[in-house]
Structure 1
Amino acid sequence: MGVSGSGKTTVAQLLAKDLGWVFAEADEFHPRANIAKMENGHPLTDDDRWPWLGAIRDWASERSDAGEDAVVTCSALKRSYRDLLRGSRARVRFVHLDGPPELLAQRIGGRTGHFMPSSLLGSQLDTLEPLGTDEDGVVVSVDQSPQDCARAAARALGL
């Protein structure tokens, strides 16, 4: 979990590969209307996000029912979003990739082929509710290489 530019996809792919788990990119669960909204520089509302989060939750349940462990990227910015995801039949744990806004903005500005403009970073940071001490998850700083982030996440989660 984390805001745009935190390295969710890169770190999750590395973690899934290292663990031999299934990987999914949450952006692939967005309906076209959500993507169009973000491409046009408009932040998503909770009403936009609920069906998307429900699809991710259901996918995680299906993986669990099939006996598969999985890693899925998801911004999961609010506790209420994480609560919905925890409604999965799978055990859901979070890795919050956290970093300074300047670094995140630099990363967003340097990537190509992604629908999320850097102008929406501020709205994501304003929305972000850090993991609570009672939530099953860890915080990993992104001021290190993606490989080190993946290793730090695996260690912190006891994997």
Structure 2
Amino acid sequence: MGVSGSGKSTVGELLAERLDVAYAEADSFHPPANIRKMAAGTPLDDEDRRPWLDAIARWLSERSGQGGVVSCSALRRRYRDRLRDSGAPLFFLHLDGSEELIAGRLKDRKGHFMPRSLLRSQFATLEPLEPDEHGAAVPIGGTPAEVTERALAVLAP
């Protein structure tokens, strides 16, 4: 989980490869209307997110017992609660970094529908993991391989 540009897709793919499990990019679960809205610079509201979260929850439910990694912003607790409702055992990795670091990354990113202008709204929406949520924050400084190693370290029993 994390804001746009935090490395969810890159680290998610690396993590799934290292764990030898399926990987899903949550952006691929968005209906076309959501993508058009974000591409136009308009943040999604909870109603927009409902079908998206439901689709991700279905994927998680189908993977239950097999393992998998899905990169999903899951910025609010209620979104993570909806994903937990899938019944699959979940562990949330919050890819955590400063707005300045992530804005710098987004400046260089090409070909993604999410404009840099929405980063501030994502930080405003972000509700970090609470103590009773199964998960951990992972600092995103360094290379994707280094972040993946940190993620693996917090996943280790």
Bin the TM-score by the shorter chain: over 0.9
Q: After the TM superposition, which parts of structure 1 deviate over 6 Å for at least 4 consecutive aligned residues?
A: none
* SS of residue in 2 equivalent to 1:62: helix
Give the structure-2-normalised TM-score. Answer: 0.98
The correspondence of residues 6-155 of structure 1 with structure 2, limited to 5 A, is: 6-64=6-64, 67-155=65-153
1:34-58 alpha-carbon deviations (Å, 9 max, x no partner): 0000000000001100110111011
Alpha-carbon separation, structure 1, partners of 2:153 and 2:101: 24
Matched residue type, 2:131? T
Identity of aligned residues (%): 57
**Pairwise CA RMSD:** 0.9
Matched residue type, 1:95? L
- Structure 1: gaps (5+ residues): none
The Cα of 1:89 is off from its aligned counterpart by 2.2
Q: How many residues align?
A: 157
The Cα of 1:145 is off from its aligned counterpart by 1.3
- Structure 2: gaps (5+ residues): none
Alpha-carbon separation, structure 2, partners of 1:83 and 1:71: 17
1:127-150 alpha-carbon deviations (Å, 9 max, x no partner): 000000110001000112111111
* SS of residue in 2 equivalent to 1:72: strand
The Cα of 1:90 is off from its aligned counterpart by 1.2
Give the structure-1-normalised TM-score. Answer: 0.96
